[in-house]
Amino acid sequence: MSHILTVEKLTQIYPARRKQKEFCALNGISFSMNEGEILGLLGPNGAGKSTTISLLLGVLTPTSGVITVFGKNFFTHRSDILQSMTFASTYVRMPWRLTVLENLRVYALLYKVPKKIFMERAEELLTLFGVWEQRNKTIGGLSAGQITRLMLAKAFIPRPRIVLLDEPTASLDPDISHEVRRFVLDQQKKYGLSILYTSHNMDEVTEVCNRVVFLQHGNIIAIDTPQKLARSISIDRVRLVVATPTELKHLRAYCAQKKYRFRLKGRTVTIDIHEDHIPALLREIHAVGMLYTQIEIDKPDLEEYFLHMAKKKKQ
């Protein structure tokens, strides 16, 4: 599979200012995105995600490093490359005095989209996102969710080859978020798009992303599929429901003795335990005569991985 975008030893150092020390936002990171892939870019706040996106858009000039897009050096072919690359973010404002269609038209002109084709795509996308009826309203008259959907429509009107999506479902209700995810996956499949995707919704990332780049302190600490990253934690949750207060008391004392991390809710005991230790846990509980009426075992997910890595950051 060919690489449509490659980042090599990308470094961004912000110089010292007044009382602030020099700050390294990116420390020589390297990764690639395959053609037709949805690549997640994750990490705690301050990890370097926004800096990476700004560099990929040419908004910042890196301290050092190389970005290659479509086989071309990004910094010497920036204008040509950006004709096939778009960006949408919940956190970027649009001119609030312009109408929905006027905002989209200005953006389409930058990508040389003919007016007839623009109108066809605008109607298709705005109808899909439920904002076609608001096409003549100014941005100031839209809700936060409607603006988010408009930003997303804007990114797909030029039919780009690469799309950078920064929190595309923020401010959206769950049903609309579901539609957006389906739309993104459909666009990837239909047009072979390559998409760089950031989100704080780990279930969403697991659903749409083929692979994930995890950033922390300006360094890449992992690149893998969401499923493999989740499995790397090896900590499962065993949930036991006991029949009587006496059984609950005994199970609680047992967990404390074994120094297991556990939580109580009613007569349910949830134990965090390494997956290899689960058989021994169940044998020991049975051996001492403790009875439970129900058992569930939850495998770790991407959110568990994210929280685990964020906790390590603070240590």
Q: What's the mean pLDDT in 291-298?
A: 89
In a domain, 238, yes or no: yes
- What CA–CA distance (Å, rounded) separates 263 from 78? 53
pLDDT above 70 as % of the chain:
98
Q: Give yes or no for residue 205 having a pLDDT over 60.
A: yes
Q: Give yes or no for residue 244 having a pLDDT over 70.
A: yes
Query: Exposed/middle/buried for 71, CB within 10 Å: 0-12, 13-18, 19+?
Result: exposed
- Position 298 scores a pLDDT of 86
Q: Which residue type sits at 64?
A: S
- What CA–CA distance (Å, rounded) separates 77 from 142? 37
pLDDT in tens, 124-139: 999 988 899 999 999 9
Average pLDDT, the chain: 91
pLDDT above 90 as % of the chain:
61
Q: What's the mean pLDDT in 66-84?
A: 96
In a domain, 268, yes or no: yes
Owning domain of residue 271: 234-299
pLDDT in tens, 80-113: 999 999 999 988 888 999 999 999 999 999 999 9
- What CA–CA distance (Å, rounded) separates 43 from 23? 18
Checking DSSP bridges between strand 64-69 and strand 38-42, what pairing results, if any? unpaired
pLDDT in tens, 181-200: 999 999 999 999 999 999 98
Is 312 or 62 the better-scoring residue by pLDDT? 62
- Position 1 scores a pLDDT of 64
User: Model confidence at 18, in pLDDT bands (50, 70, 90)?
Assistant: confident
- What CA–CA distance (Å, rounded) separates 203 from 199? 10
Q: Give yes or no for residue 312 having a pLDDT over 70.
A: no
User: Model confidence at 313, in pLDDT bands (50, 70, 90)?
Assistant: low
User: Model confidence at 230, in pLDDT bands (50, 70, 90)?
Assistant: confident
CATH code, domain carrying 249: 3.30.70.790
- Position 93 scores a pLDDT of 85
Q: Give yes or no for residue 315 having a pLDDT over 70.
A: no
In a domain, 74, yes or no: no
Q: Give yes or no for residue 314 having a pLDDT over 70.
A: no
Is 249 or 65 the better-scoring residue by pLDDT? 65
How many domains does the chain fold into? 1
